């Protein structure tokens, strides 16, 4: 069942989203050559500790419980990569996905960073993936059903010569990280029949396009978590938690206002 959230509930979700934004802000300053993915995970863990926020990814059930507070996926890895001793090198792209619960409410967001300089084709992959997320957020405020947004997202990606991953989708978010509805980044007759939903004020969604340079198909590595592209071509992932309000879409994991920055700094956040 899709739950529509009140203004007061959305305000609470915003605080969780701000902590997730702060985590990404701290990570963005540490994504450099020679850093390991587990060092980036530790940066996020320390931000969550500072706010006494509960990490949402650690312990997620699978073949074995997910062991870290972030999913970190490098190059041909699509999502659900496990942070570890891998050292980042110039030219890599690294997706950092994380979420937390603060005061009972959840935030979830992902960013794919370039390590040093990347090739023009890879830069285009990053631009198209972040661009399709930004466009989807705008369309959330102008279209009437999610299937319309999803169709435009897939068209935008395809027009740039890339493919949209279909095996993983976005989701509703609220008191739990994963709530109804499923939020695909592509349209299909099956979705229009069985999963489509109207875009109404109070809706809170984690919108998260995953875009591949080659085939849309993915497979899971032997570690039981990491999803990689079937053809080894590179993949990018961007995600925001977004509320649809009477005034339009509000990016809950987006950057702080001056007043919100003061709130973050009251927990010891680094001034910008």
Angstrom distance (rounded) from CA 243 to CA 208: 14
Closest by CA to 227, choosing from 97, 130, 124, 88, is 97
Dihedral of the alpha carbons of 171, 190, 112, 247, in degrees to the nearest 10: -50
Binder among 68, 149, 206, 207 for Mg ion (CB under 5 A):
206
Instruction: Please check whether residue 108 is in contact with residue 20, taking contact to mean a CB–CB distance below 8 angstroms.
Output: yes
Q: How near is the Cβ of 34 to Mg ion at its closest, in Å?
A: 26
Q: How near is the Cβ of 239 to Mg ion at its closest, in Å?
A: 5
Beta bridge partners of 87: 36
108 is a site residue for Mg ion (CB under 5 A): yes
136 is a site residue for Mg ion (CB under 5 A): no
- From the list 105-113, 148-156, 183-191, 263-271, the region that binds Mg ion by CB under 5 A is 105-113
Angstrom distance (rounded) from CA 219 to CA 89: 24
Contacts of residue 159, Cβ cutoff 8 Å, sequence gap at least 6: none
Site for Mg ion in 228-247 (CB under 5 A): 239
Q: How near is the Cβ of 272 to Mg ion at its closest, in Å?
A: 24
Q: Specify the residue, 206 or 264, whose C-beta has the smaller distance to Mg ion.
A: 206
- From the list 58-66, 109-117, 145-153, 161-169, the region that binds Mg ion by CB under 5 A is 109-117
Size of the site for Mg ion (CB under 5 A): 5
- What single DSSP character describes residue 255? -
- What single DSSP character describes residue 67? -
Dihedral of the alpha carbons of 177, 109, 99, 94, in degrees to the nearest 10: 130
Q: How near is the Cβ of 208 to Mg ion at its closest, in Å?
A: 5
- From the list 95-103, 115-123, 226-234, 257-265, the region that binds Mg ion by CB under 5 A is 95-103
Q: Specify the residue, 97 or 187, whose C-beta has the smaller distance to Mg ion.
A: 97
Enclosing H/E stretch for 49? helix 37-50
Q: Specify the residue, 53 or 121, whose C-beta has the smaller distance to Mg ion.
A: 53
Q: Specify the residue, 220 or 261, whose C-beta has the smaller distance to Mg ion.
A: 220
Backbone torsions φ then ψ of 81, nearest 5 degrees = -70, 145
97 is a site residue for Mg ion (CB under 5 A): yes
- From the list 198-206, 219-227, 229-237, 261-269, the region that binds Mg ion by CB under 5 A is 198-206
Residues near Mg ion (CB under 5 A): 97, 108, 110, 206, 239
């Amino acid at each position: 069942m899709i739950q529509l959230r009140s203004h007061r509930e959305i305000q609470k979700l915003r605080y969780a989203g701000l902590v997730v934004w702060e985590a990404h802000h701290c990570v963005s300053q540490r994504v450099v050559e020679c850093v390991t993915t587990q060092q980036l995970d530790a940066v996020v863990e320390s931000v969550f500790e500072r706010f006494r926020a509960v990490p949402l990814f650690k312990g997620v059930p699978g073949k074995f419980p997910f062991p870290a507070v972030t999913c970190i996926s490098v190059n041909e890895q699509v999502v659900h990569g496990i942070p570890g001793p891998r050292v980042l090198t110039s030219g890599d792209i690294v997706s950092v996905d994380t979420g937390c619960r603060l005061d009972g409410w959840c935030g979830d967001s992902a960013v794919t960073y370039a390590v040093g300089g990347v090739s023009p084709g890879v830069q285009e992959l990053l631009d198209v993936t972040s661009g399709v997320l930004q466009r989807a957020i705008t369309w959330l405020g102008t279209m009437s059903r999610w299937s319309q947004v999803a169709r435009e997202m897939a068209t935008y990606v395809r027009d740039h010569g890339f493919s949209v991953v279909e095996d993983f989708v976005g989701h509703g978010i609220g008191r739990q990280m994963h709530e109804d509805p499923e939020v695909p980044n592509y349209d299909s007759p099956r979705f229009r029949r069985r999963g489509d939903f109207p875009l109404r004020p109070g809706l809170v969604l984690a919108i998260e396009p995953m875009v591949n340079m080659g085939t849309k198909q993915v497979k899971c590595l032997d570690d039981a978590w990491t999803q990689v592209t079937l053809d080894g071509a590179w993949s990018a992932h961007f995600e925001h938690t977004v509320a649809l309000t009477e005034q339009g879409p509000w990016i809950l994991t987006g950057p702080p206002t001056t007043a919100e920055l003061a709130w973050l700094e009251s927990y010891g956040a680094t001034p910008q």
